[in-house]
Structure 1
Amino acid sequence: MRFVDALGVLSKSSSYAVSTEHDLDKNLVNVKENLYVDMPIETDVMELLAKIAEKSQSRKVIFLCGSSGDGKSELLLRAKQKYDNPYIKFHLDATHSFEPHDTAIGTLDKLFREFEAGSHSLVIGINIGMLGNYAEEAENLCIREKLKKYLELKENSEDFNFINFEDYPKFEITEDGYKSEFITRLLQKITSPSSELYQLFLKDELEGLNSADQFKFVNYKLLCNEHVQKVLIELLLKIRLFRNQFITARTFLDLIYELIAKKDYLFNNLFCCNENEILEKSIEFDPSRLRTKTIDRFVIGYELDSLPNDFDIFKQKLKTELMIDDLKDSKSYIRLFYILKFLDMGNNYHKKFTDDFAENLLLNYLEIYRHHIYYVSAKSKSALRNFYNKELINAIRGYINKKAPYLKDDQFLISEYDEYKVISHLKLGPDFSAIEKNQSKNGKGFFDVYIRIKDFSDEKGDPTVQFSVDINLYELLSRLRAGYRPNKNDRSVVVMLNEIVNRLFNFANRSNQINFKSVSNEIKFISEDDCIEVEY
């Protein structure tokens, strides 16, 4: 078996992309099985199956839910091999039917009729969309109700258990950084010296580097570098946070196939291909689109063939160590410098661009995220007070007061009548008790903020406005503070911002002080002790 043939197992178009019980080529099956990574979700599935007794009183239905390509079939195939007995029946993919004329819904109805009449437990792999469809169309009304209960409330029934890949996020933001155990381990399976692929690579390397498949060998060797893998994981985190892109086992393996197998270098494939749903998003983060002084000087120098000698020395090192020949344009070099940014090599010419590739927005966002999720009063209070008062509330107030930027910190423009501006007074600040109480490590890529309305005390304390902040909203807030005005491209994020503003307006309209201000006059209405004082 050749290295280039084994690579095909990674492709989504490969017959090995979905696990079945009838794979043919044993060598390719071994390559695929060598790539399998067992994760916490598998442990939970196996533990649940182990608890199912062989008597009918403990019968259960287990739904393994998720998105297409996240590994449901692979996991359930392994579970079936381990628990192959008449007391547990498996249906690996609920989008399939047993007969050509049957529908997927009809097949599920048949499975549940057999379940009701039998003494076995039932294990079903199902896409979350299909689960929603079956909750509406199942012939058994009791089953409909149990499925709807899960979809609406995320609750298991006594005899219906749901395990969802969505509850096992691929990225974890930790107290001191971030990690993706899934992606890291999968990359290790693909590139470690003990892997099937690596052994095949070593066997074919010399011949492959002098063949039409040269790029495949150069790219694979580049991917084996842990510093390049670190850049890839960071980029995938950005794509996950900014574009809400779920990363499944199948899409990730297909991504690796596209990076290695396309007829260009890995760093160009990473930002130029669109035949993979992750790569469609990575194009938006192409570092060659950056406009900085250092990058622009490099581009001009490259076009004029006037770059210093240390660039030529660095190119020689690229050729001897990474087998990368002279590249065709400056964009390719910028992308190369980007993926090598954590790697020391030669005279480190590429390190001149380190600051240009710094992910300041991402790092700042993760820092505030951690202070919410891992709140420690002594450590987090100062950082969060600064974030709420100088960043979050300041940006929202600037957005509300864009037609009256001269207003003071506690003043909000709520409407205009002819020449008069109607101004409300609200004192806002962070609600630290709510933050400490709600440290939800949800792993969904956003955190909840809690703004306390200090002017509206009641027996339960000051009211609090709570909402979620993802990295897109965080970026918009940062840009608003710098004077940015949203446009139609920001529509989805602005909708979120307007919802927050409207909630604040509910309090602003009930403030105990309202001002009517014109160019030459200002009238203050102050409510106190059931009386309204008027000041001119």
Structure 2
Amino acid sequence: MINNNCLIDELKKLKESSKEAVENITSFSEFKNYMHVKRNVQDELFNIIEKSSKSNSSKLILVCGGVGDGKSHIISYFKNNYPDIISEFEIHNDATESFEPGKTSIDTLNDVLKDFNDDNILHSNKKLILAINLGALSNFIDSKYQENFKNLKQYVEDKKILDVDISDNSYEEESNFQFINFSDYHIYSLTEEKAKSQYVEDIINKIVQDDERNIFKNSYKSNCQNCDINYKCPIKINYEMLMKESVKEKLIDVLIECVVKDKLIVSTRSLLNFIYDFIVNTELDNKNNEELKVYIDKISCEQFIKCIFVSNLFEHRELSQILNSLNKIDPINSISEDLDNIIIKLNITEDIAGVFNSYLNIDGNNYLESLMSKNDVIEDEKMKLKTKTEQNYLIDSLINMFIRLNIFIPRENLNLNDKIYLEYMKNLYYWNIGDIDNIENLYSDVKVAIYNWNGEALDGRINISVGKNQMRYKISQKLNLEADLSNIKVNESEELLKFNPSLIIGYESEENGINYKIDIDFNLYELLMRIKNGYRPNKNDKYNYINFVEFINKIQKLGSQNKEIYIEDKQGLGVSNYKLVYKQAFGRFEFKSTNEV
């Protein structure tokens, strides 16, 4: 008999549209209390709040960060779990809102912070927790009220709260201001091996672990396991897949990859919604329980493939920013000779299941695993289709599913990882811990890309852009650059929880010691590595990375162009080389042919 209760009823609590997803500082439900995952920022903030509560002076605690980074959730958690301590404070949340229609959010902040203006702060004993986005904080300290809050503005500037660099937020008893910046913390941590996310892992575990408070696992045990159609239910199978360590680990890996490549801000709400999308396909989400059971009971092979978790991850970019980013790293778009050979083999072999078994860890206890491990199941599904075109479409769908599954449940890994991304993450770790030996190649590679930005020149020279682009003449200058490591700080931690998420690389002129730095995120790094290997940046590249263009323009001024330049004249198959030298003692230029090739 088909069970009328369903796991999906509980899973829907994970959706962003669920009432459970709404953060309310005055309430903290039992479900939220169970789903709460402790983060490193929580301990640091609680330490500041606890010490401030015992102080006799006024305390303004700035809880800073970006939109959706969990400020409201943690304050709500403290309010629910530590009422005695939090009762010492007033709390102002969502500083972008105004209390009165005639007032802006800036006006509201001026009212809220009146006890902390320059006239009142020393005579006040008020304690206030202010959850505020960095943009709103910046706007306020530069607003028309800034003359009244010079002390606060000076504090923000001294602590470099609004800067990219990580700030020291340790508690200071003598100060009326305290702060913590959620932007200094990330959804992932850095290790030499790879980036990790204990936070995401803990969230997933909350959904799949054995715990009497876990409504999802309880529903799975009482409903899914006793349901007559559980063998081919994509929701049940996807939920079981989420329990697998390899799936969990790879899901975290690809999520971090999206955060790094697309600068995604993954809030707890969006993460929970993402896990729902992983388990429940849109085709199943829109049905009531009775319709859902009927649909699954009659589900076809093609429909099943569309509902399995790898299809949910890579084929629904329209559903969320996370899925949109995942679509960009879909493994079926990977370029690999080994992958090409496997695809050819799958298209011509009569033993598709044998190939699947060689490359995938298949248990064989549900429809997905039967489909992937038994040739007779595949053949039966092909026979149900009327035309050769439909059969070919089924094979293509199976191959796509096979490629995607290989990154989650590999027996023999096809190694479809983005090598440049993995290289970037290692460099990011070594740069943040100040490992000079391991970042030497990084500085050398970026230096080559700098020299090749305007086209490859002879050794030790860099091309100069003069006038309109043309093919005949190429003008270059000598440029002697050395790595500037003055901003490198040694950190002996094996796992970094607070770190700069991009590489700030500097170079200086050997002649005059002038230096410039450039912030290199993954996308710029990828472009620079391509340039190092011979790629020539086009107009779009230079438009998209205007900051790097400005950096190049500054770097070029460190060269020898005020003393001498080299001119290459291409005429047909021949090349003539010249040098223009300024003789300062005689106040004139000398133009001569050279023998350099």
Q: TM-score, normalised by structure 2?
A: 0.73
Bigger Cα displacement from structure 2, 2-11 vs 71-80: 2-11
Tell me the distance in 2 between the aligned counterparts of 1:91 and 1:39: 22
Pairing 1:127–2:183 present = no
- Deviation, 1:476, is 0.7
Give the match for residue 394 of structure 1.
448
Counterpart check, 1:267 vs 2:310: yes
Query: Is the Cα contact below 8 Å between 2:424 and 2:525 reproduced in 1?
Result: yes
Give how far 1:531 is off. Answer: 8.7
Aligned to 2:31: 31
Q: Determine the structure 2 residue equivalent to 1:10.
A: 14
Secondary structure of 1:397's match? helix
Find the aligned partners of 2:371 and 2:585 in 1 and give their Cα distance.
80
- Taking the aligned partners of 1:174 and 1:532, their CA distance within structure 2 comes to 58
Partner SS for 2:195: strand
1:430 equivalenced with 2:429 (yes/no)? no
Q: Number of paired residues? A: 509
The 1:114/1:145 distance shift into structure 2, 3 A limit, reads closer
The equivalent residue for 2:464 is 414
In structure 2, distance between residues paired with 1:88 and 1:385: 50
Counterpart amino acid of residue 424 in structure 1: Q
1:128-164 deviation line (CA, Å, top 9, x unaligned): 3443454466768524873586379428893233322
Looking at structure 1, the residues matched to 487 and 108 of structure 2 have their Cα atoms a distance apart, in angstroms, of 47
What's the counterpart of residue 44 of structure 2? 44
**Cα displacement (A) at 1:37:** 0.9
Mapped partners of 2:523, 2:183: distance in 1: 21
* Pair 427,311 (structure 1): closer, same or farther in 2 beyond 3 Å: same
Secondary structure at 1:70 match in 2: coil
Q: How does 1:514-529 map to 2 (within 5 A)?
A: 514-518=565-569, 519-520=575-576, 522-525=578-581
State the distance in 1 between where 2:584 and 2:449 align.
30
1:74-153 equivalences under 5 Å are 74-81=73-80, 82-84=82-84, 87-95=88-96, 104=105, 107-113=108-114, 119-135=125-141, 141-143=147-149, 146=152, 150=156, 153=160
**Larger RCO, structures 1/2 (Cα 8 Å, 6+ apart):** 2
8 Å CA contact retained: 2:235, 2:279? yes
Equivalent-residue separation in structure 2 for 1:329 and 1:150 (angstroms): 60
Query: Which of 396, 412, 421 matches 1:330?
Result: 396
Q: How does 1:114-263 map to 2 (within 5 A)?
A: 119-135=125-141, 141-143=147-149, 146=152, 150=156, 153-154=160-161, 158-194=175-211, 196=214, 197-208=216-227, 210=229, 214-262=233-281, 263=284
Tell me the SS of whatever aligns to 1:217: helix
8 Å Cα contact 2:68-2:265 kept in structure 1: no
| Shift in alpha-carbon separation, 1:199–1:523, aligned structure 2, 3 A | same
CA contact (8 A) 2:262 2:325 kept: yes
Worse-matched range after superposition: 120-129 or 321-330: 321-330
Deviation at 1:278, TM superposition (A): 1.2
Mapped to 2, the partners of 1:451 and 1:133 lie a distance apart of 33
Runs of at least 5 residues in structure 1 that lack an aligned partner in the other structure: none
Measured at CA, do residues 12 and 395 of structure 1 come closer, stay the same or move farther in structure 2, by a change above 3 Å?
same
**1:472–1:530 CA distance, 2 compared to 1 (3 A):** farther
1 CA distance for matches of 2:473 and 2:101? 72
**Aligned pair 1:364/2:430, yes or no?**
no
Summarize the alignment of residues 504-523 of structure 1 with structure 2, pairs less than 5 Å apart.
504-510=555-561, 512-518=563-569, 519-520=575-576, 522-523=578-579
Q: For residue 453 of structure 1, what is the aligned residue in structure 2? A: 509
Equivalent pair of 2:483/2:508 in contact (CA under 8 Å): yes
SS of 2:113 mapped into structure 1: helix
The aligned counterpart of 1:280 is: 324
Residues 214-238 of structure 1 deviation map (CA, whole Å, 9 limit, x = unaligned): 2222111111111112111211222
The 8 Å contact of residues 60 and 161 in structure 1, kept in 2 or not, is answered as: yes
Instruction: Read off the aligned partner of 2:486 and give its amino acid letter.
Output: A
Distance 1:319 1:415, change over 3 A: closer
Q: Secondary structure at the match of 1:58?
A: coil
CA contact (8 A) 1:11 1:254 kept: yes
Question: Which letter maps to 2:475?
Answer: V
Inter-partner Cα distance in structure 2 for 1:208 and 1:47: 49
Partner AA of 1:20 in structure 2: N
Given that 1:424 and 1:509 are in contact with CA atoms closer than 8 Å, whether structure 2 keeps it comes out as yes
| Cα offset, 1:368, TM superposition | 2.7
| RMSD over equivalenced CA pairs, Å | 3.9
Structure 1 residues 125 and 326, CA gap change in structure 2 (3 angstroms): same
Look up the match of 1:310.
Answer: 354
- Say which is worse superposed, 169-178 or 440-449, in terms of deviation: 440-449
- Please give the residue correspondences for 1:442-521 in structure 2 after superposition, counting only pairs within 5 Å: 443-454=499-510, 456-457=511-512, 462-487=513-538, 490-491=541-542, 493-510=544-561, 512-518=563-569, 519-520=575-576
Cα deviation, 1:157-183, whole Å, max 9, x if unaligned, reads 932333221011222222343222222
Distance in 2 of aligned mates of 1:416 and 1:136: 41
Amino acid at match of 2:328: E
Give, as a single letter, the amino acid of the residue that structure 2 aligns with 1:4. Answer: I
- Provide the rounded CA distance (Å) in 1 between the counterparts of 2:517 and 2:142: 33
- Aligned mates of 1:103, 1:523 — CA distance in 2: 63
